[in-house]
Amino acid sequence: MALMSDPAPWTAAVDLLRREFGTQPDFVAGAPGRVNLIGEHTDYNDGLVLPAAIDRHVFIAARRNGSPRVRLAAAAFEGRVEFPCDDPGRPVLPAWARYPQGVAVKLLARGISVHGLDAAIAGDLPIGAGLSSSAALEVASALVLEAAGDHALPARDRALVCHAAEAEFVGVPSGIMDQFASALCRRGHALFLDCRSLETHHIPLGASLAIAVCDTGTARSLAGSAYAQRRRECTDAVLALQKTGMKIASLRDVTADDLPRVERLPEPLYRRVRHVVTENARVVETATLLESGQPAGLAEVLAASHRSLRDDYEVSSRELDAMVDAALASPGCIAARMTGAGFGGAVVALVQRAAADAFLAATAEGFQKRTGRAGRLFMTEAAEGAQLLEQRDWGMGTGN
């Protein structure tokens, strides 16, 4: 995490804890957002993904309060909320608080007791830009709730608890990528994750490659119908293919050789399947190019991913297409594509580090010209996954 920034990015959470609850933290947790380099809409099809954590975080400063209640305040939202430790599941809280609440419910379900806590949430991760602020909030919540009970789950189990909270308690039907990225990524690396076996592999990005996040400033809720509809189409395609005698459990089992047979599916199912099958192959290709130090080859692979998401999966938007065009026309751009669920949100670009400033300026201008909108662009580093901060870091400059 960026120890040198001034003020440190977690200061807002520590200050909020002092203002709202009049106390200093026992611990501070930080969980990063993510960009997905490639492997889009593959996680819920048991497929492959390649996200990287970004250097923007949700921070939670928390202190044991000796009471049977968890009390929460968040910098981005009005009001304070609380829930009882022994029955955290009553769904009466405002939307933002359901993420920590859901994590408490799922920790309890694993036999991990929930202790009374005062907690303040703040951070520098944009909300609603498709950078997984909800997964980061869940993972940071898990860290402080575990710490309050002197517990520390393995990162993989923490990711699964957080995913269960989002899917089963909050009710957003997302896949597992975001929670795994926030919990498991390593600094300077992308995370190759097989969403079926849950095997992971950290792939170094190399010093010359930088990541740009180019947010279009247009957002559409993930809980919205389009994401759920894509998931249903994938399930329908599996059922239809099983009826033809194909021995598959999910779209992960469909190969490129099967595609001529799949072509008989009604529209749009064939195109949805083709996206998933070709996207899984592109994840492997991207990992190979990165590992063998051939970034030039990424241009075509990421371009093919964007085309497939636009034409076959139909989750891009006018603004996302414009941002990709603007990025590709800018100095230092190696590759670019939409990232995350789509329907708005952000584009990820891989950029030559030395050209980062020129890239950001030209892409912002190009996007403005194409759409009349101001995008929000920033460079980021592939960051370390979620962690409890050392007291010597958060104690600095906060009156401790």
CB 170 within 8 A of CB 182: no
Structure-block tokens of residue 260: 């001529």
Binding window for ligand GLA (CB under 6 A); candidates: 33-41, 57-65, 72-80, 106-114:
33-41
Residue 168, phi then psi, degrees to nearest 5: -100, -30
Q: How far is the CB of 234 from ligand GLA (least distance, A)?
A: 11
- 66 burial (CB, 10 Å; 0-12 / 13-18 / 19+) is exposed
Residue 178 found at the interface with ligand GLA (CB under 6 A): yes
- The single residue among 21, 44, 83, 192 that binds ligand GLA, judged by CB under 6 A, is 44
Number of residues that bind ligand GLA (CB under 6 A): 12
Three-state DSSP class for residue 333: strand
Catalytic: 178? yes
Segment contacting ligand GLA (CB under 6 A): 41-49, 121-129, 246-254, 298-306? 41-49
Bridge partner residues of 271 (DSSP): none
What one-letter code names the amino acid at 380?
T
Are residues 28 and 13 in contact, defined by beta-carbon separation less than 8 angstroms?
yes
Strand partners, 159: none
Query: Considering only 4-12, 35-43, 236-244, 251-259, which stretch makes contact with ligand GLA by CB under 6 A?
Result: 35-43
Task: Check residue 189 for interaction with ligand GLA (CB under 6 A).
Answer: no
Binding status of residue 40 toward ligand GLA by CB under 6 A: yes
Reported in sequence order, the residue ranges of 80-229 that DSSP labels E, i.e. its strands, are: 80-84, 117-123, 189-194, 200-204, 209-215
Q: With beta carbons less than 8 A apart as the criterion, state whether 73 and 144 touch.
A: no
Q: Cβ of 249: how many Cβ atoms within 10 Å?
A: 10
- Report the nearest approach of ligand GLA to the CB of residue 195 (Å): 9
CA distance 177 to 33: 11
Residue number, 120 or 301, with CB nearest to ligand GLA: 301
Q: Which is nearer to ligand GLA, 343 or 359 (CB)?
A: 343
Backbone angles phi, psi at 212, to 5 degrees: -110, 135
Phi and psi at 178, nearest 5°, equal: -65, -45
> 127 vs 355, which CB is nearer to ligand GLA?
127
173 close to 227: Cβ distance less than 8 angstroms: yes
Instruction: Catalytic residue, from 178, 215, 312, 321: name it.
Output: 178
One residue of 45, 65, 174, 305 binding ligand GLA per CB under 6 A: 174
Interaction of residue 139 with ligand GLA, rule CB under 6 A: no
Considering only the stretches 37-45, 258-266, 290-298, 322-330, report the one whose residues sit in contact with ligand GLA under the rule CB under 6 A: 37-45
Q: How far is the CB of 283 from ligand GLA (least distance, A)?
A: 11
- Of 1, 13, 38, 43, the one binding ligand GLA (CB under 6 A) is 43
Nearer to ligand GLA, 45 or 398 (CB): 45
Counting contacts by CB under 6 A, is residue 344 touching ligand GLA?
no
Q: Is 312 in the site for ligand GLA (CB under 6 A)?
A: no
Q: Which is nearer to ligand GLA, 30 or 130 (CB)?
A: 130
The vertex-331 CA angle with 330 and 337, nearest 5°, equals 50
Of the candidates 354, 336, 355, the residue with the CA atom closest to the CA atom of residue 346: 336
CA 389 from centroid of its chain's CA atoms? 20
Least spacing, CB of residue 159 vs ligand GLA, in Å:
11
51 binds ligand GLA (CB under 6 A): no
Interaction between residue 340 and ligand GLA (CB under 6 A)? yes
The reply on whether position 99 binds ligand GLA by CB under 6 A is no
Gap between the Cα atoms of 169 and 101, Å rounded = 9
Closest approach, Cβ 244 to ligand GLA, in A, equals: 26
| Binding of ligand GLA by 175 (CB under 6 A) | yes
Q: 277 is written with which tokens?
A: 């099958």
Tokens of 392: 């010597």
- Residue closer to ligand GLA by CB (options 40, 319) is 40
Length of the chain: 400
Q: Which residues are catalytic?
A: 178
Q: Which residues bind ligand GLA (CB under 6 A)?
A: 36, 40-41, 43-44, 174-175, 177-178, 222, 340-341
